Chains A and B, each alone.
Chain A
């Protein structure tokens, strides 16, 4: 079945640093979404990418959808302590049932 993999699983950065996390799907996607879950909280939608090669920015966050629509990346610049949480990518396969399959997440901790 469809699998979504995220790397790295854990990321620890110093406040102010930049970093990138990656998401890879075993199948071609119709769209990919990113969610953030704070400790003890529930996932909250961040963004959706639909077009091949699409790039979207939200303040310090930059999201990219690969040309083949099988991978995505999230780049955070100047990391802040408020960025702490787990970031999930989730993909919907083309021609599937429209279920959204989540990766295992990337847990971010920030050293102030």
Chain B
């Protein structure tokens, strides 16, 4: 049973380019979370999604950032016109269903570097 899969593991972008990070949840999991982690920092909540529905995006910056979790395919975190401050590790986690207060399963992360 494959775990949470994230790709790419490492991504380098120049300022102004777009970054797309993908996350395939564990089999049977219909809820996805995205977190951002700066070096030596904690995990900052960004967005919580269900298939075709954003449940909570209170942690998402108002501009340049968007997330989706379509009916088919992986969840995608999109960052437009990247700036150096976007450099971070972006972790995706999945859980079985809303109301399930059980554990989150994390992927290995996508590390974005903006030059």
Contacts and interface: CB of A to CB of B under 8 A. Distances in A.
A33 B107 CA distance: 17
Interface of A: 1, 30-31, 33, 35, 41-45, 48, 50, 88, 90, 92, 97-105, 107
Given A97-B56, A102-B43, A92 B106 contact: no
B101 A31 contact: yes
Q: How large is the interface on B (under 10, 10 to 19, 20 to 34, 35 or more residues)?
A: 20 to 34
Contacts of A100: 33, 45, 104
Contacts of A31: 101
Given A99-B58, A102-B43, A42 B101 contact: no
B43 A98 contact: no
Given A97-B48, A99-B48, A99-B58, A105 B102 contact: no
Given A30-B101, A97-B48, 14 more contacts: A1-B58, A42-B106, A48-B101, A92-B101, A97-B56, A98-B99, A99-B45, A99-B56, A99-B58, A100-B33, A100-B104, A101-B45, A102-B43, A103-B42
B98 interface: yes
A107 B104 CA distance: 20
A88 B102 contact: no
B42 A88 contact: yes
Nearest to B43: A102
B103 interface: yes
Contact of A50 (B40, B56, B101): B101
A26 to B, nearest CB: 14
B105 A45 contact: yes
A84 to B, nearest CB: 15
A44 B106 CA distance: 7
